[in-house]
Amino acid sequence: MFQKERMEKILSILKCHGYVTVKYLTEELHYSTATVNRDLNVLQQMKEIKRTYGGVELNTQPTVPVMFRYEQCKPEKKRIAKRAAELVEDGDTLFMDGSTTVQYMGEYLLEKKNITVLTNNTALSAFLAEYGIDVIVLGGRVMEPPYMLAGNETVEAASHYKADKCFFSTAFVSRGGEMAYTGDIYFSMHRTMMRNSKKVFYLADAGKLDRSGGKMVLGDFSLVDCVISDHRFEDDAGKQFPAVEYICVGEDS
């Protein structure tokens, strides 16, 4: 395989998976680490990819900094978070990702009894721990300062745990139920959390709908058990994924 063909193959893999390790590429392409790294260096010079510690992702438009995302659609996110927290039962073990919507769930969990929270969000972990909730921080590198951890170490840590419920979000979602990221590296972590949970809950405010930009697709609603949003997904995605529970929260929720 010529270098051009290898680089096209690498870009194809990244469009499918979003983020992969160099080790994964060497195994998939059947070439040495040195050869793959040379190809990656060329792609990086061409500004096609962005390299992180041990891995690589497409060089798409940057995400909105996390500190600004806290204020985006804040009332809607808090209503969604409150409704999601109502689904948590005493004694549950939860996977909670680092999204701002899921972080807002924290204040509604304080009355729950004997719950355990596994998260990659150090701000959420510190808040819950102050109130005596059992928290396990999934280690890793700080990928979105100052609070969000991600990377191979986070995925490895998540793989060792099982949860009753997983709560997560993504950068945007289509009306047809396609969940996606922009310049994000949470693909493997989310897949691991979802695979190791009995029930999976997807949280998304209407501000995430059909946003433009480069997409790293996580998957569609067939991967989740319940969608909680201020948008009525049952009117569009519900036709394709009738087995999914749809909870729509309004201003009076």
CATH value at residue 226: 3.40.50.1360
Q: What's the whole-number average pLDDT of the chain?
A: 88
CA-derived radius of gyration, the chain: 19
pLDDT tens digits along 154-192: 999 999 999 999 999 998 899 999 998 865 678 899 999
Last-in-domain residue among 37, 58, 79? 58
Same domain for 201 and 80:
yes
- The reported pLDDT for the residue numbered 72 is 63
Q: 242 lies in which domain range?
A: 66-248
Q: Between β-strands 226-229 and 197-204, what pairing exists: parallel, antiparallel or unpaired?
A: parallel
Give pTM, 2 decimals: 0.74
CATH number at residue 34: 1.10.10.10
Amino acid at 10: I
User: Looking at the predicted structure, is the pLDDT value of residue 245 above 90?
Assistant: yes
Distance CA 210, CA 153 (A): 31
Total domains in the chain come to 2
- The reported pLDDT for the residue numbered 145 is 77
pLDDT tens digits along 202-220: 999 998 886 654 467 899 9
Q: Are 184 and 18 in contact (CB under 8 A)?
A: yes
Same domain for 156 and 47:
no
